[in-house]
Amino acid sequence: MTRTVHRRPARRFRPGNPRLRLRVALVAALMLLSVVGVRVLELQTIQGPTLAAAAAADRTRTVTLPAERGQITDRNGTALATTVEARNVTADQTLVEDPQAAGEALAGVLGGDPQAYAERLTGERRFVYLAKDVTPQTWERVRELAIPGVFSEPTSTRVYPAGDTAANVVGFVGAEGNGLGGMEYGFDTELAGVPGTLEYQRSARGQEIPTTAQDGTPAVPGLGVQLTIDRDVQWKAQQAIAAAVRGARADWGQVTVMAPQTGEIVALATAPTFDPNRPADTAVADRGNRAVSDAYEPGSTSKIMTMAAVLDQHKANPRSRFVVPPTLTRGGHVFHDSEPHGTLKLTLAGILARSSNIGTIQAAERIGGKTLYSYLKKFGIGEPTGLRFPGENRGALPTPAQWSGTTFPSLAFGQGLSANSVQMASIYATIANDGVRVAPNLVKGFVRADGSVQPAAAPASSRVVSAATASTVRRMLEGVVSDQGTAPQATIPGYRVAGKTGTAQRVDPDCRCYKGYVSSFIGMAPADDPQLVVAVSLSNPRNGKYGSVLAAPVFKKVMTFALQQLQIAPTGTASPRIRTTW
């Protein structure tokens, strides 16, 4: 039987419709383009500004432009503190490719530990400091290393070209450039100026793109401060007081040089001192200015206030006679002079020339306590100097309501009250200026960026005693410097000199008791036409104690130099003969 095999007929190939394929491809392309177009439209119109801002922010760097700090100069324009250009070396850790290699290269230029630089260059921080206040020349060497992620920012650094000369007046600045002492602190606002900003674009490697625009605000430079200090007189005063402190083994010493007609302080020297270029190398106590920060009981240099008050009230004259006993009891306390003596017959001028405590008490009793108190206030005791100096101690003067039975006699010869050295110099300047007190001042003017000078405000002035009284006190003070007085060591050949010694008991802050002495001398020249006052004091000397021995020679050195430096000629007149006994 034959099997029948059925065969499926062969399928015939039919080619696709090319138009259909084209349409499908076209639709797919249109759909893809639509998606891309929508995305582009979204990026450009919706997210575009945000993304552009983010990209610009990523490329933009904003740095602070420090304002140039004003100079501090002496009265003649000599720089005592100035600012020089510097650079801070910075880094963006995210751009640093090889921290170890970069650290080695930086250490070769900047010095220091390569590993420490490598650690500062490692991480995700966008801004870190590698070094501060390097010179522009040093930064140029760093820049030539072409280390990705290492940049610089402009800054400045403070330098003191005179070294320790006037350091305790000028002060110093901290790491951030703000004043931390002296005039740098007291006039920080005027000196600092106003910082500016600078924005620029940078590449992916962190380099500035030179063709992009820069934006920002310019810095406003600070004002310069011109002091009344004369650098050369200041230097001489510092040398003289430093030698005296060493020789006397004193805790510290100071010299104030003042022009009485203007109140200008020509020198304000203290020892020990410091180098403001390296303030951290010196004890904190030596960085201030003890001439204003340390008050002390002045002792006998204070007696001219008592004498001036008695004369001004017409209760005595230089020839008035006093019988001065060996001791004097007041308020249950026995007062005595520095050296034992019998009964003395002294004139008022003789009491001052011989610095008799007892005689001064007797003279003060002719005007009474309330009147004496009013004169002490007018001379500036217990009042601020107005120097804007940080840490000023204005001293102390008890009110009559606080007095005990011994306060009035003690105040008469300079105990029971306290004053700083500038205040004491101002007292003598008042007598030198015919009885008119001109407030002490340290600032002559402010220097603008264009070099013009804005004079400082005129200091306040007030009459304390009459011109006749002041003239009489000056003649009496000449007796102190004569061979009849306590300080012939202060004489200056060719010049008439008037002044007063002081050997005051020192209040020890630890025990709050009298311990040691403050030795001082304050004088003026030429005595008949005073142009300068020089005040000298040494605290707690261990080799000697008398102001005539320790302080008067310093006065002579400084006054002699200052008269020559400022070209002050002798008057050519003769000193009067002062009658001290009767």
DSSP string, 403-462: --TTHHHHHHTT-S-BB-HHHHHHHHHHHHTTTEEE--B-EEEEE-TTS-EEEPPPPPEE
Which 8-state DSSP code applies to residue 341? Answer: -
Sheet with 60-65: strands ordered across: 60-65, 196-201, 215-217
Strands 453-455 and 443-447: antiparallel
CB atoms within 10 A of CB 359: 26
- CA dihedral over 534, 578, 355, 473, signed as positive or negative: negative
Query: Which member of 152, 300, 426, 482 is catalytic?
Result: 300
Half-sphere exposure of residue 24, counting CA atoms within 13 Å on the CB side?
A: 6
**Residue the block writes with tokens 């007030």:** 462
Q: How many helices (H) and strands (E) does the chain have?
A: 19, 21
CA gap 287, 170 in Å, rounded: 10
Q: Return the structure tokens found at 519.
A: 């030795």
CB 422 within 8 A of CB 442: no
CB 72 within 8 A of CB 225: yes
CA gap 378, 369 in Å, rounded: 14
Q: Return the structure tokens found at 184.
A: 């740098």
Q: Return the structure tokens found at 100.
A: 């170890």
DSSP string, 282-315: S-GGGTS-HHHH--B--GGGGHHHHHHHHHHTTS
User: Percentages helix, strand, coil for the chain, rounded to the nearest 5?
Assistant: 35, 25, 40
CB 334 within 8 A of CB 360: no
Q: How far is CA 338 from CA 296, 342, 459, 546, in A?
A: 18, 13, 38, 10
543 contacts: CB under 8 Å, gap ≥ 6 = 247, 248, 249
Contacts of residues 188-191 at CB distance under 8 Å and 24 or more positions apart, as own/partner, are: 190/70, 190/222, 190/223, 190/225, 190/446, 191/69, 191/70, 191/72, 191/222, 191/223, 191/224, 191/225
Determine which helix (DSSP H) or strand (DSSP E) holds 33, and give its type and residue range. helix 18-41
CA gap 165, 143 in Å, rounded: 37
Using DSSP's 3-state secondary structure scheme, residue 223 falls into: coil
- Look up 426 and say whether it is catalytic: no
Q: Return the structure tokens found at 258.
A: 């003042």
Show which residues are catalytic. Answer: 300
